[in-house]
Amino acid sequence: PTLSTEFLRGVQQMDPNDWSRFVKTFGPIVYGWCRCSGVPEDDASDLVQEVFTAVARGVSNFERQKQSGSFRSWLAPITRNKTRD
C-alpha cells in the first residue's frame, strides 16, 4: 500500500479516521518486519505499539522526497531501531 498525500496529511494532523486506517494498513507490515527481525510473537504486538508511538511523535516532520523517500523508507528504520531496543 502507498500513502497518498491526502492520507498522509490526515495522519500528520492526527485525524482519528486516518490514524485508524493507517494502523489497519501498516500495522500488519510493521508486525511482519518485527517478526522477520526475530521478535517473538508474544512481543511483536507490543513492539508495533511502540513503533506507532514513535511515528505519532515524528510524523509531522516527515516530508516525502521524490528521490529517496517513500513513507515505508521512513517507517522501516523506526521499526528496526525499536526492535534493537
C-alpha closest to that of 83 among 12, 13, 34, 11: 34
Beta bridge partners of 65: 69
When the pLDDT of each residue in the chain is averaged and rounded to a whole number, the result is 89
Confidence of residue 2 (pLDDT cuts 50, 70, 90): low
pLDDT given for residue 1 in this prediction: 52
Q: What is the pLDDT of residues 37-72, one digit of tens each?
A: 999 999 999 999 999 999 999 998 888 776 556 888
Q: What is the DSSP code string of 27-54?
A: HHHHHHHHHHTT--HHHHHHHHHHHHHH
In terms of pTM, does the model score above 0.75? yes
